[in-house]
Amino acid sequence: MKALRRIRELLILLALLFLVPIAAQAQDARSAPKATPALWKIEKEGATVFLFGSLHILPETLKWITPEIDAAMAASEVFVFEVPTDEGAAAAEKEFIVKYGLLPEGASLRNVLTNREFLIYSTVLRRAGLRPEQFARYRPWLAAVILGLAYMNPKSITEISGADNDLIDYANANGKQVRYLETPASQMALLTGNGDVSAILSLKRLIRTLPTTKTQSQQLLELWSAGDADSIATRIDSYFTGYTMSKDALVGNRNREWLAPINELLNQSGRTSMVTVGAAHIGGLNGLIPLLCAEGHEVERVGREGAANTPACP
């Protein structure tokens, strides 16, 4: 179930960001220090919004809730996430995958991948316990996400969880109001917009770069754990080099649409809210922070261990 809950975010980033959110699970928990991810704060006429950039999949034992994040959670009455993750959303996602994730009867990925590419693809999926009669018929976009999950998590392909899950569980357990920025249908629709030709090229690219993705993704996890938001933004932007339109469709356009509900929260005097989105949406070109700054909001990065907050806007 958790795998379905995260499949949208994984798919959206996978083709162009290699395995950015997936590989967080691959780190040896014994070598993972306690994470101190960044947290931002926006205040307006008595309203407060905390903004948090999440990695959607993390090592199970990684401790990432800092005293500052814990205080923000306790103070917040409203929790906002990208999309619902309840049973209804999971059912809708499964229906989407069945309808749009399989090739027609008689078609196979063998026809679009080279023998070597299909050998790599099938070997990884077999090791994760998947059957050829199923994965040979995956459409390229679905093949990419399953390949990524199987490569990074061969023993636990269905047991994945991230910071979002922890925050959603906390909000529900403590009777907080929960809202969402998008519907499952609108987010899933992003996955098939470029068609099979583009998806095939992305799948081939992923197969070629599998050996390097662990290092790249490990680096991203380390940056997130250290709260190095600027380096995360730079890294994310670099992954989209040559794919400006794709980044705008997957990141920039969505960020601009999210400004309205965030502004709505900032217009509710006396209320504190916490907005959690993927780390790719926070900084960099057309990130939420520069967009909020451009609208005249004073965004601050919350100081660690009692340190003063620091301005995030130029």
- What is the pLDDT at residue 215? 76
Structural domains counted in the chain: 1
Report the 3 state secondary structure along 158-200. Answer: CCCCCHHHHHHHHHHHCCCEEEECCCHHHHHHHHHCCHHHHHH
Whether 55 contacts 228, CB under 8 Å: no
Global pTM?
0.85
Residue 236 parent element (H or E): helix 229-239
Residue 204 has pLDDT above 90, yes or no: yes
Tell which residue, 48, 71, 16, 68, has the closest CA to residue 206. 16
**What per-residue confidence (pLDDT) applies to 28?**
44
* pLDDT over 60 (residue 25): no
At 228-253, the pLDDT tens digits run: 988 998 888 887 777 777 778 788 89
Q: Mind listing the pLDDT tens digit for each residue in 82-124?
A: 988 777 877 887 788 888 888 998 899 999 999 999 999 999 9
Q: What is the percentage of the chain residues whose pLDDT exceeds 90?
A: 47
**Encoded tokens for 104:** 């027609």
Average pLDDT over residues 244-267: 90
pLDDT at 124: 92
Beta bridge partners of residue 39, listed in sequence order: 52
Query: Looking at residue 23, what is its pLDDT?
Result: 34
Range of the domain at 221: 2-311
Q: Give the CB-side neighbour count of residue 204, counting CA atoms within 13 A.
A: 14
Contact 191, 198 (CB under 8 A): no
Residue pair 273/79 in contact (Cβ under 8 Å)? The answer is yes
* Of 309 and 245, the one with more pLDDT: 309
User: 160 burial class (0-12, 13-18, 19+ CB within 10 angstroms)?
Assistant: buried
Q: What is the pLDDT of residues 277-307, one digit of tens each?
A: 999 899 988 899 999 999 999 999 999 988 9
Q: Which of 3-17, 19-33, 140-154 has the highest mean pLDDT?
A: 140-154
Long-range contacts of the stretch 25-31 (C-beta < 8 A, 24+): 25/57, 25/58, 25/59, 25/60, 25/152, 25/153, 25/156, 25/160, 26/152, 26/153, 26/214, 26/217, 26/218, 27/59, 27/62, 27/218, 27/221, 28/59, 29/59, 29/60, 29/61, 29/62
